[in-house]
Amino acid sequence: MDSVTFATVIIGALMFLVFTGIPIVISLGLCSFFGLAYIMGSYEIAGSLLSSSAYGAIRSYVFATIPLFVLLGEIVARSGAASDLYRVIDRSLRLLPGRLALATVGGNTVFGAVTGVSIASAATFSRIAYPEMLRANYNKSVALGSIAGSAALGMLIPPSILLIVWGVIAGESVGRLFVAGVIPGILLATMFFLFLLLLAIARPRLFGDKTGPADSGDGVDVPGMAEYFSCVGVLILILSVLGGIWGGFFTPTEAAGVGVLFSVVIGLAKGMGPRAFAQSVLNTGRVSAPLLFLLITADMYSRLLAMGGIIDVIGGLFFGVAGDPLIIIALMVLVWVLMGMFLDSVSIILLTVPLFAPIIAQAGVDPLAFAIIGIVAIEAGLLTPPFGMCVYTVKGAVSDPDATLARIFMGAIPYWLVLLVLVALVAFFPGLASWLPNQIL
């Protein structure tokens, strides 16, 4: 069997298993095992490669960042600090129209710098922000869209679980990827903010009967000193984690450990009990364990791609269609958006980055810019029907029967478009991602 036929069979089998509902970890494991057995001519050798992958794929020091950052976000969310954050940001924006929606964007921006998981942001602010926007008589599509759309910030602003997984799979520095996400993350938050501000000015009725200074009595109550101290604690946590990485004081893993320590202090100050801490640890395991199993099978998959010549075959297809790197990136973005309609973000990274990263390196594209392009495009998939994960998370987190999937998808369309605008900006101006890491690290 030649390389082209082998690549066709392996990728076809993998896609068939995935789209028939077989879990991605099993699909990757089966295709990788039997593919390597075919190449090596021995099931024993394939089994040996599987065992070495299980041992070597997740023993790296950097993998501790995944459960640590997840635990950090769990503790902050359960402590009530996220709610305090929303209240403080809301009151800070009381002179602006549509301030509750703007506060949602601001809250997701800061919370994203804590948890690094978009789904967690969507669930948290569905419970915090949506009831307040309903009380202020917001249009429900606008309210739901602002929550689902701005939750996408969680996977771009560091620390991001997707950036960690991308760095491990592509062999890039996680610290440099974290720094690369700062400017695009701030730019994305600014674009969301300006969109909502202009919409509130042009269509004030969508944001309740009263907006701006006149609605200062609506929305959440005036926060007290405890809420302000809570927000200060969260900001100190963020500065400690990211500042430690940027300043070279901590590795990403050490920074994650420091962040967990600060989050525990915040949790204790907010009155979290042993049961809440235990639940945070349990949920961390539920999120992290599947990711680590996926990384084991992804290591096998990467070996199969290299040994089977599949990367060369796929690269030949891309370069055969177009030699322009921008067109190649556009084709990859299209693949990501289409896959985002059916798969979760981590699965998309594991399936595509081992194939795409070598092709992009051969095309001479900056790897940091490509990583940010990929993360943003994959995040757009979280808002894409029929199975946008952020949309389903918002749907599951609110009890309003009017919060239908169709309404949430419609409200999220502007944010989906903004994400694609950011993809284009980074593709044309790669310095948006690479300039800061080159200055700091």
Residues near 426 by beta carbon (within 8 Å), at least 6 away in sequence: 184, 369, 372, 373, 376, 432, 433
Question: Is residue 61 over pLDDT 80?
Answer: no
Contact 70, 282 (CB under 8 A): no
What pLDDT shows up at residue 346? 82
pLDDT of residue 198: 94
So what's the pLDDT on residue 209? 53
Is the pLDDT confidence value at 215 over 70?
Answer: no
Concatenated DSSP letters of 63-128: GGHHHHHHHHHHHHHHHTHHHHHHHHHHHHTTTSTTHHHHHHHHHHHHHHHHH--HHHHHHHHHHH
CB atoms within 10 A of CB 441: 15
Give mean pLDDT, residues 391-410.
Answer: 86
Cβ contacts of residue 44 below 8 Å, gap of 6+? none
Dihedral of the CA atoms 212, 213, 217, 219 (nearest 10)? 20
Residue-level pLDDT at 211 = 45
Say what angle helices 345-363 and 325-340 make with each other, to 10 degrees: 170
Assigned token pair, 405:
């999937």
DSSP category for residue 204? G
Q: What is the pLDDT confidence band of residue 374, given thresholds at 50, 70 and 90? A: very high
Domain count, the chain: 1
pLDDT tens per residue across span 217-253: 444 455 667 778 888 888 888 888 888 887 778 888 8
Paired strand residues for 159: none
Least confident of 181-195, 272-286, 299-313: 299-313
State the average pLDDT over residues 139-151: 90
Candidate ranges 223-227, 354-358, 381-385; pick with highest mean pLDDT: 354-358
Give the pLDDT confidence score for residue 427 in this predicted structure: 93
- Residue range 190-208, pLDDT digits in tens: 999 999 999 999 999 998 7
Position 256 scores a pLDDT of: 87
Q: Which pLDDT band, with edges at 50, 70 and 90, does 441 fall under? A: low
Give the pLDDT band of residue 212 (cuts 50, 70, 90): very low
Q: Is the pLDDT of residue 263 over 80?
A: yes
Asked if residue 384 lies in contact with residue 337, where contact means CB atoms within 8 angstroms, the answer is yes
- pLDDT in the model for residue 426: 95
pLDDT attached to residue 213: 43
d(CA 239, CA 123): 24
List the domain range (segments joined by +) for residue 96: 3-440
Which pLDDT score is estimated for 186?
A: 92
Confidence bin at 57 (pLDDT 50/70/90): low
